Structure 1
Amino acid sequence: MLLGCIGDDFTGSSDLGNTLTKAGMRSVQYVGVPDAPAAPDVEAGIVALKSRSIPAAEAVAQSLAALKWLRDQGCTQFLFKYCSTFDSTPEGNIGPVAEALADALGATEVIVCPAFPATGRSIYQGHLFVGDHLLSESGMQHHPLTPMRDPDLRRWLAHQTRGTVGHVPATAVMGGVGRVRAALSGEAAKGHRLIVTDAITDADLITLGHAAADHVLITGGSGIAMGLPENFRAKGLLSGRAGEWRGQGGPVVALSGSCSGATRAQVAAHAASHPSREITADEVISDEVDADTLATWALGQDGVPLIYSSADPDAVSAAQARHGAAPLAEAIETLFADLARALAAKGVTRLISAGGETSGAVVSGLGVTEFEIGPEIDPGVPMIRANDSLVLALKSGNFGAADFFAKAAAMMEGTA
């Protein structure tokens, strides 16, 4: 294994696997820290954690355990992957995990770059944009767990870390690999270990990846990995066998627990022409719904049935006020985990999940330990194979086109 990756959620980890697979690296995603060694042909190993919204100390401990396993597999470079909207609170978990990994690896120049231009995420003057809006005006300010109210990544990261935060501006990035390396060294000389780097285009991300060829630790969204495979290829270390893919027929069901604006629009578009069943917070808390009944309903429908709990921000806030944010989130995730398990037991072979927390619950419910990364459905969202008869699509809340659910079902079957 060459590149060791640690993802703070499941959808982001499959997004990263998609980036690396497209660039020619044989990539495997693991659910949690594995108990056994990796297969010898794996070139990029991605340990997917569910550490984005847990207490910072727990996130650090899990990430360090993942790092140890990846080091034991022989990795020479490591990537800490988090969301392209930098989902975190003033307490963490991005900063504490990044610093802990840097301490463990002795890293002194650590890129911080969540940019993903293909989905509208760019960084300019240290500020994160979603499309033409600052992050704090993109809808992410209403996120129920990690509301992002400050678009200045330097300032937000400084709340989470012990050290100071540096910055490499767009002018240096556009100047090429040499300029980037000089800028990173200059920021490190000032005492900055974590360094936010601007990136507006895919070309910027590739430049950053090439500039970091000898860096032991890199952090960012999946886009920061775009230039990394070529570094290994140039050294003659890649096999050129990134794996083959086959379609999967059979019953399909879509699940959604994301409350992002993009997912709510996808839910509305899909429900207009496919069977849909909304799960309300009150139903979940009062045990008025159960996984087996929902699974039976889904398998009795035509088309691509959708079961969702994707309310608007006001409804989410009201439900959290009634039931408590943590108990409500736990109850919904438990239901989705049970539902995924029930659907698989009843013969579902294609399962689509929208939302990072929801997808984490789905994967946990299925008890799958590793995935083969397949072709891309929409930017940042690949198909992944769990076993010989089950293919998944795990979508971050903000990703995907309006017709994502129907498109994913067709592509998983091999008909699109």
Structure 2
Amino acid sequence: MQAPRPLPDGPLVAFYGDDFTGSSAAMEVPAFAGLETVLFLSTPSAARLRDFAGARAIGIAGVARSQPPAWMDRELPPAFRLLASLGAPVAHYKACSTFDSAPQVGSIGRAAEIGRSIFSGDWIPMVVADPGMGRYQSFGHLFAMADGRGHRLDRHPTMARHPVTPMDEADLGRHLARQTALPVGLVDFVAMKRGEGDAALARAREEGARIVSLDVLDEETLVEAGRLIWERGDKPVFAIGSQGIEAALVAYWRAAGLLPAEAPASRPGPVARIAAVSGSVSPATAGQIAHALDRGFAGIRLDARLVVDAPAFAREIGRAAEAALRALGEGRDPLIYSAAGPDDPGVAALREAVATAGLDPVAASERLGAGLGRALRDIVRPAGLTRAVIAGGDTSGHAAMQLGLDALTALGPLDPGSPLCRAHGADTPLDGLELALKGGQVGRPDFFLAVKQGGRAVS
């Protein structure tokens, strides 16, 4: 058996995330495997990179998931060239683990084309599944857990009804074919479990595949996916997929004895008060909001329809922030939210208001996210809070940008895909803020309370 390729010095993985919450999911995998990791919230300068010179995994959080291909054509090439300059053996375009994308917005296919033009590899590994996040891929079809049950992606209670990128196709190869002409191949879990992964990969490449999707169902297939990327990929590898890329690499490095099997996990302690904002419409977040309100959080509903009128929306953000500060003065944790699930009447009202005003839905999402960020900033600073939450994959990036922060490092685990982080900023009073970024489908019902407590008791 061939000896595993050793881990070189310096960065091992460099990734660009297509949204902020997903980027924190990719960050936590190497971080909690004991590899120093940093996630930049904007393209870092050379001086800022030097501040984190020991990092073995380096990420840049972006907002490509909510942008059209023309935006990608402008913004992704310089980001990918920066990734290439870091010299990491693996460069990764991090997409959501539910593959949120469409030809006109968040096109993963377009990102793959841009990456291929810069990295010039023969093939692009694609891993979307991650069992640790409740994502599984079988014969190229993606399944995701919700409320303890597995759903094919096109029948998933959230993704089939996503307001921007509803999924009507669980076969990721077919879905991707709507976004790119690059041929997509597959290494399925049967070949992996039979020890035929190399042969299946060679066959897919001989048949002309430029993107090769790798099934992942369990630890065995996760390790095999990592092996194929690390041992059979180009040097450097350009890969696309979820945090499953990092999970597969770490699983293989551990199985091959290149990393210790376990790394100590820190457990930040509780804080007296937190503040949270949410632009998510997922049922999972709705359940978490309800759980938090039942346990004493002060719910502050935002009238999201007002995004169509900038001055009115600014006043609404100010009202919500003032209400949050009053709640803190009463000893309660404020939670500002724009909707409680996809069936919330506010979702349809917002959609109607945006259509009537002729506002681009993407611009409306950006405005909503930025407003939530301003509200959080105007709460955290005067109240002297040390911990906060931003919920919502499409809005989290725009919200986080309002805080003046430029990097995150992982502090401790909460739920898979959403660690508690320490925020960094060279020129902001919020440097050192502890922050959790939560995607719509991420987290158990008590997520907001777990953030306040700094995690859950180890059973």
**What is the TM-score normalised by the length of structure 2?**
0.83
Q: Secondary structure of 2:63's match?
A: coil
CA distance 1:266–1:246, change in 2 (3 Å): closer
Please tell me the residue identity of whatever aligns with 1:276.
Answer: G
Q: Is this contact kept in 1: 2:15–2:92, CA < 8 A?
A: yes
Shift of 1:247: 4.5
**Which structure 2 residue ranges, 5 or more long, are not aligned?**
1-10, 356-360, 425-430
Q: Is this contact kept in 2: 1:266–1:403, CA < 8 A?
A: yes
Q: Does 1:221 align with 2:242?
A: yes
Higher mean C-alpha displacement, 292-301 vs 159-168: 292-301
Among 387, 390, 393, the residue aligned to 1:353:
390
Distance 2:250 2:216 in 1: 19
Please tell me the residue identity of whatever aligns with 1:349.
Answer: T
Among 242, 246, 254, the residue aligned to 2:276:
254
Q: Does 1:321 align with 2:357?
A: no
Q: Is this contact kept in 2: 1:166–1:195, CA < 8 A?
A: yes
Q: Does 1:395 align with 2:418?
A: no
Q: Is this contact kept in 2: 1:21–1:242, CA < 8 A?
A: no
CA distance 1:7–1:232, change in 2 (3 Å): same
Among 402, 405, 409, the residue aligned to 1:365:
402
Q: Is this contact kept in 1: 2:173–2:213, CA < 8 A?
A: yes
Among 272, 281, 292, the residue aligned to 2:304:
281
Shift of 1:60: 4.0
Q: In structure 1, what is the equivalent of residue 413 of structure 2?
A: 376
Q: In structure 1, what is the equivalent of residue 290 of structure 2?
A: 268
Q: Is this contact kept in 2: 1:248–1:391, CA < 8 A?
A: no
Within 5 A, what are the aligned runs for 1:3-402? 3-37=13-47, 38=49, 39-91=52-104, 92-131=106-145, 132-139=150-157, 140-176=159-195, 179-214=196-231, 215=233, 216-229=237-250, 247=269, 249=271, 251-273=273-295, 274-285=297-308, 287=312, 289-301=315-327, 302-314=331-343, 315=345, 316-324=347-355, 325-346=361-382, 347-387=384-424, 389-402=432-445
Q: Secondary structure of 1:310's match?
A: coil
CA distance 1:58–1:237, change in 2 (3 Å): farther
Shift of 1:380: 1.3
Shift of 1:18: 0.7
Q: Is this contact kept in 1: 2:298–2:332, CA < 8 A?
A: yes
Deviations 1:368-413 (A, max 9, x none): 1111112110111101101454100001110100111011111169
Q: In structure 1, what is the equivalent of residue 6 of structure 2?
A: none
Q: Is this contact kept in 1: 2:141–2:170, CA < 8 A?
A: yes
Q: Is this contact kept in 2: 1:23–1:226, CA < 8 A?
A: no
Q: In structure 1, what is the equivalent of residue 4 of structure 2?
A: none
Deviations 1:88-134 (A, max 9, x none): 01345111101221221122222222112233211112111123221
Distance 2:121 2:289 in 1: 43
Distance 2:113 2:41 in 1: 23
CA distance 1:128–1:54, change in 2 (3 Å): same
Q: Is this contact kept in 2: 1:110–1:218, CA < 8 A?
A: yes
Shift of 1:197: 1.8
**Which structure 1 residue ranges, 5 or more long, are not aligned?**
none
Please tell me the residue identity of whatever aligns with 1:218.
Answer: A
Shift of 1:343: 2.1
Q: Is this contact kept in 2: 1:84–1:221, CA < 8 A?
A: yes
